[in-house]
Amino acid sequence: MGKIHVLSDAVANQIAAGEVVERPASVVKELLENSLDAGATRIKINIEAGGKKLIQVTDNGSGMVRDDAMLAFERHATSKLKTAQDLLSVQTLGFRGEALPSIASVSRLRLETRSPEDAAGTIVEINGGKIARVEEAGLPEGTSITVRDLFFNIPARKKFLKAENTELSHIASLVTHYALAHADKHFELHSATNAVLVAPPVAGSSERVYQIFGKEVLDQLIPLAALVPLERVGLPQPPPWRREAEEDSVPADPGEMRLRGFVSKPEIQKLNRNSIYIFVNGRLIRDRLVQHAITEAYRNIIPPSVYPVVLLFIELPAAEVDVNVHPSKTEVRFRQQSVVHDFVRDSIRAALMKARPVPQFATEIRAHPTAGQSLTPGAAVWDAASSGPSHPSEAAWRNAYEPAGGFALRPPSEAAVAERLQFDGGIAVEANAAVPVARELKLRGIEAIPDPGCAPALDNVESEPTLDSLATLKPLGQIRNSFILAVNEDGLWIVDQHVAHERVLFERVLKQRAAQQVESQRLLMPMIVELTPAQQAVYAQIADELARNGFEAEPFGARSVAVKAAPAGVDAPAVEHMLHELLDQLSSEEQSLNLEKIRTRIAASIACHAAIKVNMPLEQNKMEWLLVELARTEHPMSCPHGRPVVLRYSVKDIQKAFKRI
Ligand code: ADP
Ligand code: MG
């Protein structure tokens, strides 16, 4: 007798739930997406016990008629597509018809819904996949789905859920990002009596970022907007798995790809990718290709081991992206992978270049890489704010969002305090913030005298100068023969002389290399450099490129090379050190070496070893020269290793510190 039998729907649903419902946040995601697909403009989410006890999503969308309300819980029941052909042009977030039956099979679910066509609404209750009640009821238009006791019938899954706060933070992060993606809609998230997020509709994403995170975060982000017509880049052959089906579905006009969102300034550095959010056609996804493009855009702007904050909305014609890749719909496949990759990379790079933001004292001092999800309120915040009203005033709401350390993106304030500059007189002064003089005076028992206007504000204070104003800097002198102090109309600047020169040389070497004319200098005596086996292996790989960068070297015995000429500016004693460092660095690279990477590493290494050192006195004309050269670089804000080159103490900061504004 045969052993194979067809699984019952109940079992099939639980298997699907294994993929679709990983944790409470996945339930929220599916319900939220359904509400958005139903055209809702108001979505309210209630959570209890991190979603383990209760998840309720209420919307004002299209609702369902009675028959649909029943059908929605059948496996593969969907209103969003009919034929396989439709899969190629999915416009909705859902399309698999799997979410509701899956969720209903692992929880106690109650659906309340009414479509405008029906006078009365429908209530459906399902426990662990079994229909318990279907009833007519007077209900408002729209849909409300309540999911209780998630995984009550699968104890093994329930055990894997994390602490309530952790699950809540995943939910909050998810809802926050959907709210960012849909600025024109009203989102609310409540946990028990605590309003975690209340975001009425606003005009655009900047307003939304401001509304949710406040000005400080918005100031740390650079807006992004780019568009590329797809016809210009041409359409390569579709991949074989779609070739036949696609023949008539590909429109004659391939349309265009759009990019909008925000990327963080280089001084914001994160220890992991948790602050990178990528949406494709309104769908939150994880994607290695786009991640890679982002890393490439920030290459040599931030250190390789840290990550930026990115909120990216990619929009492209449905035919250009395959969304049917994974049951949880968090992955997609782009039809023109390299076009998407390069467009994302180049657009972000261009935005970073254009903004040329100047690091300020305070942000630099506080810019410790942090691990938290930057665009998510910290879990502790909700507890602290648990007594908030359901519609908190803006101020109360902001308070709930902005306590010290509330957002990882705002630098930890403790650190800033710890790094106050200590002045000789004993008054601790925060680098960039308004100096709390009055407070200090009070502490010392001195009353501050009221100021009726003895310190009028200056005229025409430009608030945000860019690095273009570097060109007008006038050097005053050096601090400890290491940092150049310079002024112009925009304020006071401190330039790290070593990294500034490093940036200048780095760009110069890359340019010279591109033109095949790197300057080289002959050493008086060949220098014998011994190499370890690992170094030898890398040397063999990059010898040719080293030669093109001004190194003349040949094998000398089994384990050494004799260097006869080196790039200009790198003096003999530095040559050995530099070679060792470069070879070690490249041998510890995790990914395979490509020519571009080798070139930039070599250029960075030459720049580092040829640059003016710290503790070196510089004459006035040399300082002037350096500032002029720096102003000419393409990217003067950070060195090839990602450290800042200049710090600015703007006129506004100075005025604030003197309590003039
Ligand atoms: P999918 O979203 O892939 O179609 P689901 O199981 O999530 O599958 O939902 C099944 C169907 O139920 C949807 O196609 C939609 O017609 C209906 N539905 C679900 N949620 C809502 C809602 N909030 N408002 C209106 N209709 C809904
Ligand atoms: Mg769905």
Which amino acid belongs to residue 338? S
Pairing assessment for the beta strands 474-479 and 283-285 based on DSSP bridges:
unpaired
- Which residue's alpha carbon is nearest to atom 2 within ligand 1? 94
| Rounded mean pLDDT, 105-119 | 95
pLDDT value at position 239? 60
Atom of ligand 1 nearest to the CA of 63: 25
d(CA 82, CA 97): 11
Q: Which of 106-110, 430-434, 526-530, 556-560 has the lowest mean pLDDT?
A: 430-434
Neighbours of 615 (CB within 10 A): 10
Q: 250-262: per-residue pLDDT in tens?
A: 556 778 999 999 9
> For a substitution probing ligand 1, which of 27, 74, 100, 330 has the most ligand atoms within 8 Å of its CB?
100
| Rounded mean pLDDT, 559-567 | 90
pLDDT value at position 19? 76
Give the ligand with the smallest distance to the CA of 16.
Answer: 1
Give the ligand with the smallest distance to the CA of 36.
Answer: 1
Residues 6+ apart with CB under 8 A from 281: 91, 314, 315, 316, 318, 321, 323
d(CA 110, CA 125): 4
| Rounded mean pLDDT, 554-561 | 85
Q: Is the whole model's pTM more than 0.85, yes or no? A: no
Pairing assessment for the beta strands 186-191 and 42-48 based on DSSP bridges:
parallel
pLDDT value at position 380? 30
Exposure of 156 by Cβ count < 10 A (0-12 exposed, 13-18 middle, 19+ buried)?
exposed
Residue 81 Cα, ligand 1 centroid: separation in angstroms?
A: 11
Query: Which helix (H) or strand (E) segment is 564 a member of?
Result: strand 560-567
Residue 240 Cα, ligand 2 centroid: separation in angstroms?
A: 29
- Which residue's alpha carbon is nearest to atom 8 within ligand 1? 97
Q: 252-300: per-residue pLDDT in tens?
A: 677 899 999 999 988 788 777 878 889 999 888 989 999 999 999 998 8
pLDDT value at position 402? 31
- Provide, rounded to the nearest whole percent, the portion of the chain with pLDDT above 90: 39
Q: Are 631 and 490 in contact (CB under 8 A)?
A: no
Residue with tokens 């405008």: 116
pLDDT exceeds 90 at position 218: no
Question: Hey, what are 28's tokens?
Answer: 């929220």
Residue 104 Cα, ligand 2 centroid: separation in angstroms?
A: 13
Residues 6+ apart with CB under 8 A from 622: none
d(CA 475, CA 485): 6
| Rounded mean pLDDT, 207-222 | 86
| Rounded mean pLDDT, 469-473 | 84
Q: Are 503 and 635 in contact (CB under 8 A)?
A: yes
* pLDDT confidence tier of residue 93, bands split at 50, 70 and 90: confident
- Which residue's alpha carbon is nearest to atom 23 within ligand 1? 35
Alpha-helical runs (H) found in 367-496: 379-384, 394-401, 413-418, 437-443
Give the ligand with the smallest distance to the CA of 80.
Answer: 1
pLDDT value at position 346? 93
DSSP at 644: B
Q: 366-408: per-residue pLDDT in tens?
A: 455 555 444 443 333 333 333 333 333 333 333 333 322 222 2
Q: 141-167: per-residue pLDDT in tens?
A: 999 999 999 999 988 888 888 888 889
Q: Are 195 and 390 in contact (CB under 8 A)?
A: yes
Candidates 517, 284, 93, 304; CA nearest to 294 is 304
* pLDDT confidence tier of residue 353, bands split at 50, 70 and 90: confident
pLDDT value at position 435? 28
pLDDT exceeds 70 at position 360: no
Residue 125 Cα, ligand 2 centroid: separation in angstroms?
A: 18
Residue 128 Cα, ligand 2 centroid: separation in angstroms?
A: 19
pLDDT exceeds 80 at position 61: yes
Q: Are 583 and 539 in contact (CB under 8 A)?
A: yes
Residue 150 Cα, ligand 1 centroid: separation in angstroms?
A: 19
> For a substitution probing ligand 1, which of 37, 59, 75 has the most ligand atoms within 8 Å of its CB?
37
Q: Are 251 and 319 in contact (CB under 8 A)?
A: yes
Bridge partners (DSSP) listed for residue 299: 302
Candidates 223, 496, 206; CA nearest to 355 is 223
Q: 416-440: per-residue pLDDT in tens?
A: 332 333 332 223 233 333 223 334 4
Q: Using a 6 Å CB cutoff, which residues line ligand 1?
A: 30, 34-35, 38, 59, 61-64, 72, 77-80, 94-100, 143
Which amino acid belongs to residue 301? I
Which amino acid belongs to residue 190? H
Residue 303 Cα, ligand 2 centroid: separation in angstroms?
A: 40
Question: Hey, what are 530's tokens?
Answer: 């011994």
Atom of ligand 1 nearest to the CA of 115: 25
Exposure of 126 by Cβ count < 10 A (0-12 exposed, 13-18 middle, 19+ buried)?
buried
Angle ∠(238,241,243) on CA atoms, nearest 5? 45
Neighbours of 591 (CB within 10 A): 6
* pLDDT confidence tier of residue 63, bands split at 50, 70 and 90: very high
Residue 373 Cα, ligand 1 centroid: separation in angstroms?
A: 30
Query: Which helix (H) or strand (E) segment is 602 a member of?
Result: helix 595-610
pLDDT value at position 248? 52
Residues 6+ apart with CB under 8 A from 503: 607, 630, 633, 635, 636, 638, 639, 640, 645
* pLDDT confidence tier of residue 343, bands split at 50, 70 and 90: very high
d(CA 306, CA 294): 12
Q: 592-622: per-residue pLDDT in tens?
A: 678 888 888 899 999 999 999 989 999 999 9
| Rounded mean pLDDT, 31-36 | 96
Report the length, in residues, of the chain: 661
Atom of ligand 1 nearest to the CA of 98: 6
* pLDDT confidence tier of residue 357, bands split at 50, 70 and 90: low
Give the ligand with the smallest distance to the CA of 98.
Answer: 1
> For a substitution probing ligand 1, which of 32, 34, 92, 109 has the most ligand atoms within 8 Å of its CB?
34
d(CA 528, CA 129): 76
Residue 144 Cα, ligand 2 centroid: separation in angstroms?
A: 14
d(CA 65, CA 240): 41
Which amino acid belongs to residue 654? I
Candidates 232, 297, 233, 237; CA nearest to 264 is 297
Neighbours of 464 (CB within 10 A): 13
Q: Are 118 and 135 in contact (CB under 8 A)?
A: no
Alpha carbon distances (Å) from 188 to 47, 178, 259, 283, 454: 11, 11, 27, 19, 48
239/102: higher pLDDT: 102
CA atoms within 13 A on the CB side of 602: 28
If phi > 0 it is left, if psi is from -120 to 50 it is alpha, else beta; for residue 410 that is beta
pLDDT exceeds 90 at position 82: no
d(CA 100, CA 109): 9
Residue 169 Cα, ligand 1 centroid: separation in angstroms?
A: 25
pLDDT exceeds 90 at position 459: no
Q: 179-195: per-residue pLDDT in tens?
A: 999 999 999 999 988 88
Atom of ligand 1 nearest to the CA of 35: 23
Atom of ligand 1 nearest to the CA of 33: 2
| Rounded mean pLDDT, 227-249 | 60
Atom of ligand 1 nearest to the CA of 62: 25
Angle ∠(591,278,211) on CA atoms, nearest 5? 135
pLDDT exceeds 70 at position 467: no
